[in-house]
Amino acid sequence: MKSFMIVFFSFIILKIEKRLISNFIEKNSENKRADTIIIIFGKIITYVIYFFAGSELIQNLFNIKATTFLAATGVLGVSIGLGAQSLIKDIIYGFFIIFENQYMVGEKVTIEKFTGEVIEMGIRLTRIKNDSGDVFMISNGLIGSVVNHSREEKKI
């Protein structure tokens, strides 16, 4: 019964989170940067909820103490971190792209040799769609040069 309640409340929290994010984006649809940042933080919140709900389920189903579980996940996290250095690089570059405001969803860009409209932007991947409908998924860690065709340089 406790396992069912954990899953149920996690599901409810995720639904509320998605609704809040959707409402915020609808109200602030002019600000693409805010939309992008809200979507990314929403994904982070979703992963945190998955982690805590999963850890509670494991503790409940397999009768494992929380300290043992957290120690094991810590060791697992370090080993995954060492093995997934390119993933970490993608995430770091993704944060720099967002906070430096290089490009946002809906803008036309050229990233390396691909030109198109940014249709999705995350902390790991950028998806752009060209005029013929092809969708390119580019790891943020591989992005070296960007040309933003949607912005004009402001003259002082």
Structure token digits, residue 22 = 């959707």
Please count the other Cβ atoms lying within 10 Å of the Cβ belonging to residue 138.
15
Taking only the tens place, the pLDDT of each residue in 49-107 is 888 888 888 888 888 777 777 787 788 888 777 777 888 888 889 888 888 888 988 99
Lowest mean pLDDT among 5-9, 109-113, 146-150: 5-9
Q: What is the pLDDT of residues 13-39, one digit of tens each?
A: 888 888 887 777 677 666 666 777 777
Pick the CATH number of 105-148 from 3.40.50.150, 2.30.30.60, 2.60.120.10, 3.40.50.1820: 2.30.30.60
Q: Which residues have a Cβ under 8 Å from the Cβ of 82 and sit 6 or more positions away? A: none
Rounded (5°) CA angle 56-51-41 = 140
85-99 vs 66-83: helix axis angle to the nearest 10?
A: 80
Question: Which residue is associated with the tokens 């198109």?
Answer: 116
pLDDT for res 91: 85
Q: Where are the alpha helices (DSSP H) in 2-144?
A: 2-27, 32-62, 66-83, 85-99
